[in-house]
Structure 1
Amino acid sequence: MKYQISLFLLLTTLLFSCQNENEKRFAENAKEAKKKEVIFNNINKGWTFLDEPINEISESQLNSWTEWREFMKEIGEKPRKTIGAFQKKSAAISKKAMALNNNIPAQFNQPQIKSRISILITKIKMLDLFIHLSKIPDDKVVFLIQEINKELISLERQMDKIVEKAKIPKEQGEEDFLRMLDTTRAIPNSAPPIDPNIPRVE
């Protein structure tokens, strides 16, 4: 009889402890779901990219640059419903950004454009990294989206400067002068160095 009572008490204790564990687990899951919902809402609210050219000059000049058009189209499409959708979109944007280094139009294939593209790619890769972390820092994701928008504006303004500068007519002889300033075209000095110990006739 004592054996049955102790067995009954043991089973009752196990049953209550299991219920307590389940309640704790449900509470933790609810808390985690609430956190994820807050993160999703913050990212959803802050996910606004500048997907329109800032003026007509860059728009008309960039029509021939396929990689740029595809990149702008990709950032213009906003994901919906889940964090997973934002993660997929971030990876797609990162891939399209990497392609920007290919086939840059000759007019824009200049160091100041390439450096801005590199900065843009770096910030997009950081966004992709942060959004794929197990604990997503939503404030950093939103901040990086704003930074990417600033880099896009900077890049497009630089393109506009190049287009405007190309419209200015060159003066007569200016091209020859610029070529003379180019040190890569200079004739190398092939004469041997002068030995200071050799006597000179004066």
Structure 2
Amino acid sequence: MRYLISLLSSLFLFLSCNDSKENNLTHEKTKQIQDSVFTTISKNWSFVFPKTNPEIENVLSSWKEWHQFQNELEQKPKTSLLAFQMKIENVSNRSDSLYLSIPERFNNPQVRSRMITLSTQLNSLNTYMHVQDIPQKKVNQLIKTVNEEINSVYRQMEEVVIKERIPMEIGEENMIRALDTTRLANAKSFEENLLKTDSVDNNTGNKLLPPRKRQLPKKPLPSQLKSE
């Protein structure tokens, strides 16, 4: 009986050791995969906000939500894969409402559309960063796409500034002066035509008047002649 108990105990210990070894191997393999993913993502994790003209920089510096979003995205995690996952989740949440706080000067459909697209790409990146087996190629591609969308936002803002400058650059004052001259010429021509029309009407009216009959002196009556 003691022999049987000893045999069972040995078997249990053997199986436990095997399970422990397998768990350790699985854990080690998982850690190696995570380290590889962390190294790859850390190498490619770079988000660039381009330099732009002072007018746009001035507006962006007073846009609190954008400033916080930029700071959050530019701070690169350094410790673990979990740190990257927490970072992208925070950034994604911030981007969701950016289009609601766009400064008035740039608050047009084009800029809002680019903001929403940027948020969509960040949400996709957040999704892929939280799957069990993180697809490294897809994540790296999305990082590039996010950078492209950031540049698109800036380009749309630059277009707003360019469009604001166009009228003055092509000579807005000269255009207005030319339009005023055209209006005056048209008004003068209209007045001249109106005067000609009045003159023709007057001449035509005079021709249509019936000629006056010449009044002949009245002959005296016979009674008047007798009296004389």
Using the size of structure 2 for normalisation, the TM-score is 0.68
| 2:9 alignment counterpart | 11
Picking from 54, 63, 79, the partner of 1:81 is 79
The amino acid that maps onto 1:37 is D
The amino acid that maps onto 2:126 is D
| 1:111 alignment counterpart | 109
Picking from 133, 141, 150, the partner of 2:148 is 150
Q: Provide the C-alpha distance between the structure 1 equivalents of 2:86 and 2:21, rounded to a whole number of angstroms.
A: 34
Q: Provide the C-alpha distance between the structure 1 equivalents of 2:130 and 2:95, rounded to a whole number of angstroms.
A: 17
Q: Provide the C-alpha distance between the structure 2 equivalents of 1:130 and 1:58, rounded to a whole number of angstroms.
A: 33
Q: Provide the C-alpha distance between the structure 1 equivalents of 2:58 and 2:89, rounded to a whole number of angstroms.
A: 28
Matched pairs, number: 171
Picking from 171, 176, 198, the partner of 1:172 is 176
The amino acid that maps onto 1:33 is K
CA displacement, residues 151-196 of structure 1 (integer Å, 9 cap, x when unaligned): 11111111111101111124439xxxxxxxxxxxxxxxxxxxxxxx
Q: Provide the C-alpha distance between the structure 2 equivalents of 1:99 and 1:152, rounded to a whole number of angstroms.
A: 15
1:62 corresponds to 2:60: yes
| 2:89 alignment counterpart | 91
**Which structure has the highest helix share of the two?**
2
| 2:135 alignment counterpart | 137
The amino acid that maps onto 1:27 is L
Secondary structure of the residue aligned to 2:96 is helix
Query: Shift of the alpha carbon at 1:57?
Result: 4.7
Query: Shift of the alpha carbon at 1:140?
Result: 1.9
Secondary structure of the residue aligned to 1:21 is helix
Q: Provide the C-alpha distance between the structure 2 equivalents of 1:67 and 1:14, rounded to a whole number of angstroms.
A: 60
Q: Provide the C-alpha distance between the structure 2 equivalents of 1:62 and 1:9, rounded to a whole number of angstroms.
A: 76
Q: Provide the C-alpha distance between the structure 2 equivalents of 1:172 and 1:59, rounded to a whole number of angstroms.
A: 32
Q: Provide the C-alpha distance between the structure 1 equivalents of 2:76 and 2:83, rounded to a whole number of angstroms.
A: 9
CA displacement, residues 11-39 of structure 1 (integer Å, 9 cap, x when unaligned): 22222222111111111111111111111
Q: Provide the C-alpha distance between the structure 1 equivalents of 2:2 and 2:103, rounded to a whole number of angstroms.
A: 87
1:101 corresponds to 2:105: no
Q: Provide the C-alpha distance between the structure 2 equivalents of 1:99 and 1:17, rounded to a whole number of angstroms.
A: 55
Change (3 A) 1:123 1:98: same
Higher relative contact order (CA 8 A, sep 6+): 1
Q: Provide the C-alpha distance between the structure 2 equivalents of 1:167 and 1:56, rounded to a whole number of angstroms.
A: 14
Query: Shift of the alpha carbon at 1:50?
Result: 0.9
Q: Provide the C-alpha distance between the structure 2 equivalents of 1:54 and 1:48, rounded to a whole number of angstroms.
A: 19
Picking from 8, 23, 26, the partner of 2:24 is 26
| 2:188 alignment counterpart | none
Please tell me whether the aligned partners of residues 51 and 73 of structure 1 are also in contact (alpha carbons under 8 angstroms): no
Q: Provide the C-alpha distance between the structure 1 equivalents of 2:31 and 2:140, rounded to a whole number of angstroms.
A: 20
Structure 1 unaligned segments of length 5 or more: list them.
174-202
Map 1:113-128; keep pairs closer than 5 Å: 113-128=111-126
Using the size of structure 1 for normalisation, the TM-score is 0.76
Q: Provide the C-alpha distance between the structure 2 equivalents of 1:74 and 1:52, rounded to a whole number of angstroms.
A: 16
Please tell me whether the aligned partners of residues 46 and 142 of structure 1 are also in contact (alpha carbons under 8 angstroms): yes
1:45 corresponds to 2:43: yes
